[in-house]
Amino acid sequence: MHLEILVEGQSELTALSILMSKIIGEYNNPHTWRIHKHRGMGKIPENLTAQSNKNDPTLLHNLPAKLRAYGDEEDSDLLVVVLVDLDDRDDCVAFKNELVALLDHCDKKPRTLFRIAIEELEAWYLGDSAALKLAYSDIKQDILDRYVQDSQIGTWEALADMVHSGGLDVLMSKGKRSPLVLQEKVNWAKNICPHLDVEHNQSPSFCCFRDGLRQIIA
């Protein structure tokens, strides 16, 4: 089976580039995949059948058109995987239903797996404290001990306070969307994901992603 994986940005691409072989096995033995990054999540467009705005490179804006295009390929060996963050949304089920409903606007529906990281992808890293300590030996244990798995408390901010020199305040000194923050998220993916134990991760949203992939390709 071939997987086309749609993610929000570079940190997700970096993480899955490391994790996919841990989850479903070595590339091309027998499964293959390609990961497509976007510039953030964005919003689902009001007109679901219109062409995408080329000036909007966000994932959700382009998702309806991409799903239609994948459906037109009529490839029975294709699986589209869409991974997004829940962020501050109140209802994960409602958000997933909203995503699944996009398939109703495809003439031919591609086989698609929608998965949501709760609250953010960094929750997956926090699901394996041993991996965190291998990547960051000076992690602030007291902050880690207070973290409640997959809680909506500002996940990446909590991780920053645990592992970044000077904590969140230093990382945020040039703004939430600064290149410094974005690069640090990529660094976390590079440093932590090689150590992640995908079989015993404590993040429910990671386990849902892992098990969903495995069930479909089995």
pLDDT for 139 beyond 80:
yes
Which residue matches tokens 């901010």?
157
Which residue matches tokens 């993480």?
15
pLDDT digit string (tens) for 62-97? 999 999 999 999 899 999 999 999 999 999 999 999
Q: What are phi and psi of 34, to 5 degrees?
A: -140, 135
Q: DSSP assignment of 54-65, as one string?
A: TT---HHHHHHH
Helix, strand, coil share of the chain (percent; to 5): 50, 10, 40
Q: Is the pTM of this model over 0.85?
A: yes
At 174 the pLDDT is 72
Q: Which of 104, 121, 119, 102 is nearest to 35 (CA)?
A: 121
pLDDT for 126 beyond 80:
yes
- Interhelix angle 10-24/204-217, rounded to 10 degrees, is 60
pLDDT for 178 beyond 90:
no
Domains of the chain as residue ranges with CATH:
2-121+201-217 (3.40.50), 122-195 (no CATH)
Q: Please report which confidence band the pLDDT of residue 54 belongs to, taking 50, 70 and 90 as the band edges.
A: very high
Percentage of residues in the chain having pLDDT higher than 70: 100
C-alpha triplet 66, 46, 94: angle, nearest 5° = 80
Calpha distance 140→42 (Å, rounded)? 33
